[in-house]
Amino acid sequence: MQKKFPLLFVAVATLGLAACAKKDLPPPPPPAAPPPAATDAPATVPPAEPVGTTSFDSLQEEFSQAVGSDTVLFAFDSYAIDETARQTLGNQAEWLQRYPGIRATIEGHADERGTREYNLALGERRANAAKNFLAAQGVNTGRLSVISYGKERPAVEGSNEEAWAQNRRAKTVVSGNK
C-alpha cells in the first residue's frame, strides 16, 4: 500500500500537468522593434541638468556667506551663548526660516584639554545650547540635530590659547531636504 501512494501521486501530478499543457495559452508577444539605424550625425540632445539639487559644499558655502558664519565660539569650560554668538545664531535662524526644507546638524566641539568623555559631554552641551537658541528663534526642532565630536576634530591645530579658542565651538552644518 505504501508503494501505491507515491506512484498514484506521480500519476495524478502528470495528468494534471498534461491537462494544463492542453489549455489555450495567449500568443507570445510580438518581437521587439529593431534598433534605429546608426548615423554619423552627433546626438543633438544635451545632457540632463540636475533639477532642484545643490551640492553639499555649495549649500554650506551659501549658508556661511548669507549668515556671516556657520560657527559660534565659547569661553573656556562654558556652553553659554554670548552676544556675538546670539547675533550669529540669530542670522542662522533667519536663513533657516527662509528655507524650511533645509535641515541642520549642530556639531559641538571642545579644545584638547580635558578627558575625551568630558569634552564629548561639553561639546554636546554646546551643540544643544545653539540648537535651543535656534529653536527659540522659531526654527522647527524636527529639522535640527546635534552631534558632539569633543576634541576629536579641531578646527585649528596647536596647543595654545589661540588654537584652543577656535576649537571651542558649535558649527551649524546644513543639508538638503528633510
What pLDDT, on the 0 to 100 scale, is given for residue 178? 46
- Cell numbers 545643490 correspond to what residue? 54
Give the range of the structural domain holding residue 133, as residue numbers without chain letter: 71-175
**Can you tell me the distance from the alpha carbon of 6 to that of 68, in angstroms, rounded to the nearest whole number?**
83
Longest Cα separation, the chain: 95
Would 148 be classed as within a structural domain?
yes
What pLDDT, on the 0 to 100 scale, is given for residue 57? 73
Would 111 be classed as within a structural domain?
yes
Q: Tell me how many domains the chain contains.
A: 1
Percentage of the chain beyond pLDDT 90 is 63
What pLDDT, on the 0 to 100 scale, is given for residue 176? 79
| Positions in the chain short of pLDDT 70 | 1-56, 177-178
Residue 156 CB coordination number (10 Å): 12
